[in-house]
Amino acid sequence: MSEEINHASTVVPRSILTSVLVNGVLGFAMLLAELFCIGDTSAVLGQQFPFMSIFLQATENLPSAAIMVSVIILLSLCSTIGLLAAASRMLWAFSRDRGVPGWRFVSKVSSTFSCA
């Protein structure tokens, strides 16, 4: 992905470190706040997704818990888009080295969809 970025040797490390710092600090604060609000641990632990039942116990109101869970689903969608970009560039780089079956199709690039 660094090949599609201008001034990649400074931009890429700065963006990696900034995202790690911002996500780490805010995620740790969110984790502490959420674990602090657990009321009944035995009801939380048996669930498939414990954070949903933590929200439900804290608000005791199903629509508000649904809205809080939908915020997390939106964040998961955004992180999935970034992960898809990284995985597709890895597949492209390996097919450019002719290591993957179907490398002639996968290694094509298009200038109509470029971001730079």
Partner 1 sequence: MTPVNAVLVTSAITVLIGLISIGSPTAFNDLLSLTINGLYSSYFLVCALLLWRRCTGRIHTNIPFTESISNNGNTSRGFQSCSNLDTGPQLVWGPWRVPGVLGIICNSFACVFMVIIIFFSFWPQGLDPTPATMNWSCLVTGAVAMLSATYYLIQAHKSYTGPVVDIDI
x/- letters, 6..25, toward partner 1 (CB under 8 A): ---x---x------------
36 sits near partner 1 (criterion: CB under 8 A): no
d(CA 65, CA 60): 8
Asked if 99 interacts with partner 1 (CB under 8 A), we say yes
Q: Which of 6, 48, 63, 78 binds partner 1 (CB under 8 A)?
A: 48
Q: Binding to partner 1 by residue 96, rule CB under 8 A?
A: yes
d(CA 4, CA 115): 8
Return contacts of 71-79, CB within 8 angstroms, 24+ apart: none
The reply on whether position 98 binds partner 1 by CB under 8 A is yes
Q: How far apart are the first and last CA of the chain?
A: 12
- Residue 44 CB, nearest approach to partner 1 (Å): 16
DSSP 8-state class, residue 107: T
Phi first, then psi, for residue 2 (nearest 5°) are -70, -20
Binding-site size, partner 1 (CB under 8 A): 31
Does the footprint of partner 1 cover residue 95 (CB under 8 A)?
Answer: yes
- C-alpha distances in Å from residue 39, one per residue of 17, 97, 104: 36, 54, 57
Enumerate binding residues for partner 1 (CB under 8 A): 4, 9, 13, 48, 84-85, 87-92, 95-99, 101-103, 105-111, 113-116
